[in-house]
Amino acid sequence: MITEVIGARIKDLRLEMGLSQEKLALKAELDRTYLAGVERGIRNVTVISLAKILGALDITWSDFFDGFNNK
């Protein structure tokens, strides 16, 4: 499912940056349990929440989605 692919991409980027779920959630102003659900693909991330996550990861939308080409 697409939710699992997006969640895995977020998790990969978070780990590359050396951030815990808690630190990323704080930076993105989201609840940690929500972020955990998104990463596991069991939560359907909203566009607004994805924008917050990408901002916290300091990555552009195009770079985020370009990363799918490498999988």
Per-residue pLDDT, 12 = 96
Tens of each residue's pLDDT in the chain, 71 residues: 899 999 999 999 999 999 999 999 999 999 999 999 999 999 999 999 999 999 999 999 999 999 776 55
The residue extents of the domains of the chain are 2-70
Q: How far apart are the first and last CA of the chain?
A: 14
**Topology of domain 2-70, CATH:** 434 Repressor (Amino-terminal Domain) (1.10.260)
Per-residue pLDDT, 68 = 75
Q: How many Å apart are CA 67 and CA 54, to the nearest integer?
A: 13
User: Could you count the other beta carbons within 10 Å of the beta carbon of residue 57?
Assistant: 19
User: Could you count the other beta carbons within 10 Å of the beta carbon of residue 67?
Assistant: 13
Which residues have a Cβ under 8 Å from the Cβ of 69 and sit 6 or more positions away?
none
